[in-house]
Amino acid sequence: MKRYIQSVGYGLIGLFGVGSVSPAIAVITQSNVGFRSVTPPNLAQANPAQPSASQCAANLNTAINAITQQPALSTAYWGIHVQPLQSSRPLYSSNGDRFFLPASNAKLLTTAAALASLTPQPPRSTPVFATGQAPILNTLRIVGQGDPSFSDRNLEQIAQALKAKGVQSIGTLIGDDSLFQGRRLAPSWSWEDLQGGDGLAVNSLILNGNIILAKLAPQSLGQPLRLEWLTPTLPSSYRAVQNFSKTTDAGPEFVEVDREEGQFLVFGQLRPGSAAKTADVPVPDPGLAFLERLRAILQTQQIRVNRLSVTAIPSPQPGEISVAAIPFPSLAALTAETNQQSNNLYAETLLRLMGSRVSQPAEASTPDRGLLVLRQTLTRLGIDPQGYRLVDGSGLSRKNLASPKALVDTLKAIAQSPHREVFRASLAVAGQSGTLRQRFLNTPVAGRFYGKTGTLQGVSTLAGYLEMPAKPPLALSVLVNHSNQPHAVLRQATEQVVIAIARSASTCF
């Protein structure tokens, strides 16, 4: 489900205007895993007069250390960098220039570069061309533009347009999948991500997020789970199913659908009477799956298709004319889905859209060209290229590296650019929207932190803007790596660091 934030203008005080921060801090405990909540010292009570700069720095350092040096977290690797948007000096920095796995915080670099390099964006659409005359078309060619939002609804629009023109038969249905050249997957993505819904193939003809949806429900004790495909048309090369799942009253509940050698493998277990669960399955051959689904939808309009052809090179047909065009999403919509929902497919598409704008190096793939454009664009914005190293656009790879300072520098640079409003609107809001909807609830940060989350095994990251009362906002980055604690513990700890920063900055600096 997409959630977009309305863009807000900028006051003279800073990026987000003036607000107020409540002094209350919610205390959350996680005693069962050895992590305790820490309420930073009430600086306003301890120091009735305005603290000195050195006192403020010492108090903030104490508050953060009280969180990060707890026994459950002390062996983890922490990086924190905090800086006012209108200052060249940080308020606080710990390992600020060291490399960390950014996880999905890498999307901040991708979306910042995309806004700066793809704007102004010319009017764009996914075109459909035909040869022949109704009722019989010799060819129908749809030219993929890498639209990650393309869905069955768009295919139905094409079919209805052809039906209205009197088309009854198509000789060859051609899918032009040539815009994005080279690898569709990052070679360093993990096997688990490739089998699940995180690591998806990114091609020019994307349909329904390149995902197949499976629904698994328990049956009688000892029976396999009942499998129902929620995606109407399965790829022709993957129709066989081996179901190794079971209905049982022992062990944890889980479901998983993998792909192997032309078949789906179903694993998992649910208790009798439990609610059904869904599983995301990456589409094995997205270009062919696109055409097979279009053929099925054309058949509902009594339009017969004789042959399918997917091409990886541009293939205009002599004498073809335009018969339909599906509008492309705005860049604002693409960045909002990328950052608010942490959508990996959208992030990887933005990277490839950047790469598709250039033709050099000639031997490079589209994503590699996109990484080059990203680096050049961020360098023009003033971001030190030595502060990060990306191998994908989504942050899914564990070979991505970024320093907290590089992320803060990116936030500051884009806040001073013409793209600041679109970028700000793309971020999740603490306690309100996106991946931050259920975070920072009932804390002084709720509604005042606009940012991006990131999660990998042993990794939790947060970066974004923190509104301050009657002061310029702060740009901050909090990254924790190499932890053996559960995700919930790491998320709580990073949230408490941000709350500590908010409490300290509200009375200091």
Q: In the predicted model, is pLDDT for residue 220 greater than 60?
A: yes
What pLDDT does 313 receive?
Answer: 94
What pLDDT does 18 receive?
Answer: 33
* pLDDT, average across residues 311-325: 95
What pLDDT does 196 receive?
Answer: 80
* pLDDT, average across residues 426-453: 97
* pLDDT, average across residues 11-36: 36
What pLDDT does 51 receive?
Answer: 66
What pLDDT does 16 receive?
Answer: 38
* pLDDT, average across residues 364-380: 97
Q: In the predicted model, is pLDDT for residue 380 greater than 90?
A: yes
Fill in the DSSP letter of residue 423: H
pLDDT in tens, 243-255: 999 999 999 999 9
What SS3 state is found at 54?
A: helix
Give the residue with greater pLDDT, 226 vs 59: 226
The confidence band for 57, taking pLDDT boundaries of 50, 70 and 90, is confident
Give the residue with greater pLDDT, 183 vs 35: 183
What pLDDT does 290 receive?
Answer: 97
Give the residue with greater pLDDT, 350 vs 12: 350
* pLDDT, average across residues 66-82: 94
Alpha-carbon span 311 to 235, nearest angstrom:
17
What pLDDT does 120 receive?
Answer: 79
What pLDDT does 507 receive?
Answer: 76
* pLDDT, average across residues 159-182: 97
Which domains are present in the chain? Answer: 31-120+343-507 (3.40.710.10), 126-182+286-324 (3.50.80.20), 208-282 (no CATH)
Q: In the predicted model, is pLDDT for residue 73 greater than 50?
A: yes
Q: In the predicted model, is pLDDT for residue 58 greater than 90?
A: no
Map tokens 């990116």 to a residue. 410
- Residue type, position 191, single letter: W
Alpha-carbon torsion (79, 83, 85, 89), positive or negative: negative
Q: Which residues contact 163 (CB under 8 A, 6 or more apart)?
A: 301, 302, 303
Count other C-beta atoms under 10 Å from residue 31's C-beta: 8
Alpha-carbon span 150 to 408, nearest angstrom:
33
Looking at the chain, the whole-number percentage of residues with pLDDT higher than 90 is 78
Q: In the predicted model, is pLDDT for residue 316 greater than 80?
A: yes
What SS3 state is found at 319?
A: coil
Give DSSP secondary structure letters for 27-47. ---BGGGTB-------HHHH-
Q: Which two tokens stand for residue 155?
A: 């295919």
What pLDDT does 477 receive?
Answer: 98
The confidence band for 505, taking pLDDT boundaries of 50, 70 and 90, is confident
* pLDDT, average across residues 44-64: 70
Q: In the predicted model, is pLDDT for residue 473 greater than 80?
A: yes
* pLDDT, average across residues 333-356: 97
* pLDDT, average across residues 348-355: 97
What pLDDT does 471 receive?
Answer: 84
What pLDDT does 24 receive?
Answer: 31
pTM of the entire predicted model: 0.88
- Residue type, position 365, single letter: S
Least confident of 131-135, 219-223, 258-262: 258-262
- C-alpha distances in Å from residue 402, one per residue of 100, 136, 380, 381, 386: 5, 56, 18, 16, 9
* pLDDT, average across residues 36-46: 48
Mean pLDDT value across the chain:
89
What pLDDT does 236 receive?
Answer: 82
Contact 308, 142 (CB under 8 A): no
